[in-house]
Amino acid sequence: MTSFNAMYTLVGNATLQTLAMVFSSTFFSLFLGFPLGILLCISDPSTGISPKPIVFKVLTRIVNVLRSFPFIILMILIFPLSRIIIGTSIGTSASVIPLSIAAAPFVARIIETALKEVDPGLVQAARAIGSTKLQIIFKVLIPEALPSLVAGVTLTIINIIGYSAMAGAIGGGGLGDLAIRYGYQRFRTDIMIASVLVILVLVELIQFFGSRISNSLMKKR
């Protein structure tokens, strides 16, 4: 019983750390990636409402470069930045910075793709009645793309859960750290299995609620 209580405490604390990392990183990645995705959409020389080829090319290169880095390498490269901002390069708080930076380009592409799926006829109609570019973005593109945006955010959260587990390999805390330090290094198969099961449950729950919200928004259109 004592062993079970100890495992319950370890897994519970690690789960809270993972949730803190995931939702903090999701917030900051959206904060960075959402405006970047909008800029990519509107500056596209082919389909944008405000074509700017140079801006589009520069932003595309930045996004592609950041997306090409394996997360573990990116996290190591960002350690100095985490140390400057947080004061440490290990632990849950320090992991939020590389998680956010790693997810932001992914978010930007999701936002860009979702906005480009909006019927061009709606944009043309908004232009015909004299809508400004900001009005087109916030009253046409974003509302019409909302189901796809919710689905994209859901996918982002699930990806960040995977990233957070990898962060545990280099001292990031959370379920990944628990699975490595106790499950693998101390041969605690029970903790390893419990950690994996909790991650699976988190992914299933987030996907379930994300799909429900997205489908609900789709029906209201």
Structure pTM? Answer: 0.88
Q: Of 208, 193, 191, 201, which Cα lies nearest the Cα of 13?
A: 191
Q: Which long-range contacts (CB under 8 A, 24 or more apart) does 41-48 make?
A: 41/111, 41/112, 41/115, 41/116, 41/141, 42/133, 42/137, 44/116, 47/116, 47/120
Fold for 2-220, please state it.
MetI-like fold (1.10.3720)
> Residue 204 has what pLDDT?
95
φ, ψ for residue 89 (rounded to 5)? -110, 5
> Under DSSP, is residue 50 helix (H, G, I), strand (E, B) or coil?
coil
> How far apart are the C-alpha atoms of 217 and 27, rounded to whole Å?
21
> Residue 41 has what pLDDT?
94
Q: Does the pLDDT of residue 1 top 60, yes or no?
A: no
In the predicted model, what is the mean pLDDT of residues 83-109? 86
> Residue 80 has what pLDDT?
82
Q: How many helices (H) and strands (E) does the chain have?
A: 9, 0
> How far apart are the C-alpha atoms of 185 and 180, rounded to whole Å?
6
> Under DSSP, is residue 16 helix (H, G, I), strand (E, B) or coil?
helix
State both tokens at 197. 């099961």
> Residue 203 has what pLDDT?
94
State both tokens at 193. 């299995």
Q: Does the pLDDT of residue 184 top 90, yes or no?
A: no
Question: 38, 57 in Cβ contact below 8 A?
Answer: no
pLDDT in tens, 19-39: 999 999 999 999 999 999 999
pLDDT in tens, 113-157: 999 999 889 999 998 888 898 999 999 999 999 999 999 999 999
Sorted by where each begins, the domain ranges of the chain are 2-220
